[in-house]
Structures are given as C-alpha cells and as structure tokens.
Amino acid sequence: MLHHLLALSLVCTDSAAGFQPIGGPHVYLTATAAPSLRELYSEGQTFEQFLSAADSKRDQWLATYKAGTVSDELVARARAIPGTWRLLVIAEDWCGDSLNTMPYLARLVEAVPNLQMRIISSKRGRKLLKAHRTSDGRAATPTVILLDDRYRESGCWVERPSELQRWFQEKKKTLSEKDLYDQKYAWYANDKGDQTVREIVEMLASAAAGHPSCGKKS
C-alpha cells in the first residue's frame, strides 16, 4: 500500500551516527529541536480524540481497543520506570499496522500514571517520518517518538514489532501479496499487542537508564 503525501513516500504496511529501531533495522535517529517536538506534542490528539475522529476502519479500531489488554507484568515494569514520559505517535486511521498496535499503547498509557500519549497525522509529522525511515528507506506509520520531561527525543519505534518486521521482510520475497498480509494480520491477532507493548516498555527502561535509543538489532 503506497500513499504519496507532500512528496513523501509514506507506507503503512511494508508498505554510523544513529540507532537501530525496535520496529526494524537501520532507521537512523536525527536530532530534532525540542521546541518543535513540544509544539507537535501539544497539537496532538489524545487516543480518545483520535478514535472519535476516525473515518477509516472505525469499527475495527473500536473493537481492538475494547478487547485490548496489557499484562500485569508489563504494567508493573512500566510503572517502576522513573521519570515522566510522553509518546508522540505519527499515525493514520487507515493504516493496518497502526490499528494493530496503537490501541494497546493506549491501554498501557491508561495504566501507567507517568506515561502520556498524543497522536499527530503523517502530514504534520512529515519531518519526523523522514528522519526515522525503515531499513528499506520508507517513511512508515505508526512511528512512535519517545519524549522525556523536557520534550527531548529519547527513543523511537517504527511501524511494527521487530519479530514481525523480520518475518515480513523475509517472506515478502516469496509469498503472494494476499498470503503475506493474511499471515501478517494473523500474527497480530495471535500476539494481541504483547510484543508492541513489550518493546515500548523496553524503550522506556533504556531511556530512563540514560541510554536513549531507537531500539534493538533484529
């Protein structure tokens, strides 16, 4: 699925001075001025507002959010992380990867007092998407930027969980498009957000320990 947005090739699906992202290898972290990040965050929607405004896949968004849960283990780990943290998420309601990850992040945020989340569109977050591309050069949604209490970038997570990203990049060479996407969404349905939330909590813990990163090697 390929969308052209303001000359930016934006894909939701697969559609040496840097960090490798949790959602896939070799997305490089580019410094962004803190005031800009603060402004973008302040303009963002809460998940409730995003959900209320959703036009595409609305029933699926509502169903995924309603059924979504986060394990007690991950909630406890996140609550134990010191500091105040914010997730700035660049997403679109038509994006299947956003649909299968963001509702679980919303549930995590609800359960963790020192964690907040705001959502902006790919149009508004265009520069951030360009600065956090996937290994094959794509600007992808969702892209999650972790901000500390001073709105400094402290990590990122791009597109989908690392295990699924590795699988997708390998299988797209051999599977038909239909089989590829059917199996991708079956993976999401089986995982129920666990890997997404787990990787976000790991990113938080790393940032709190003084090691900001855009993830781990696949």
Q: Can you tell me the mean pLDDT for 173-200? A: 98
Asked if 93 and 50 touch (Cβ cutoff 8 Å), the reply is yes
Q: Is residue 162 part of a domain?
A: yes
For the chain, the average pLDDT equals 87
CA distances from 195 to 18, 64, 71, 125 (A): 23, 15, 11, 25
Q: Is residue 215 part of a domain?
A: no
Q: What are the tens digits of pLDDT across the range 13-36?
A: 534 333 334 444 334 455 544 349
Structure tokens at 204: 């938080």
**CA gap 104, 192 in Å, rounded:** 8
Q: Is residue 218 part of a domain?
A: no
- What CATH number is given to the structural domain containing 160? 3.40.30.10
Q: What is the DSSP letter of 118?
A: E
Q: What are the tens digits of pLDDT across the range 123-170?
A: 999 999 999 998 778 999 999 999 999 999 999 999 999 999 999 999
Q: Can you tell me the mean pLDDT for 40-44? A: 97
pLDDT tier at 106 (50, 70, 90 boundaries)?
A: very high
Q: Is residue 124 part of a domain?
A: yes
- The pLDDT assigned to 44 comes to 98
Asked if 118 and 46 touch (Cβ cutoff 8 Å), the reply is yes
**Domain count along the chain:** 1
Q: Is residue 126 part of a domain?
A: yes
Q: Is residue 214 part of a domain?
A: no
pLDDT tier at 212 (50, 70, 90 boundaries)?
A: confident
Q: Is residue 216 part of a domain?
A: no
- The pLDDT assigned to 17 comes to 33
In which domain, by residue range, is 57 found?
Answer: 3-208
Phi, psi of 168 (to 5 degrees): -60, -45
Tokens 């599977």 -> residue? 175
Asked if 48 and 66 touch (Cβ cutoff 8 Å), the reply is no
- The pLDDT assigned to 1 comes to 39
Percent of the chain at pLDDT exceeding 70: 83
- The pLDDT assigned to 214 comes to 84
Q: Is residue 150 part of a domain?
A: yes
pLDDT exceeds cutoff 50 at 64: yes
- pTM, two decimals, is 0.84
pLDDT tier at 10 (50, 70, 90 boundaries)?
A: low
pLDDT exceeds cutoff 90 at 69: yes
**CA gap 126, 28 in Å, rounded:** 15
Sheet with 115-120, strands from edge to edge, namely 115-120, 85-90, 143-147, 153-158
CA distances from 209 to 9, 157, 160, 195 (A): 35, 17, 24, 21
Nearest Cα neighbor of 135 from 30, 218, 24 is 24
DSSP string, 26-46: -PPP----HHHHHHHHHHPBP
Query: Which amino acid appears at position 185 of this protein?
Result: Y
**CA gap 140, 119 in Å, rounded:** 14
Q: Can you tell me the mean pLDDT for 211-218? A: 65
**CA gap 14, 16 in Å, rounded:** 24
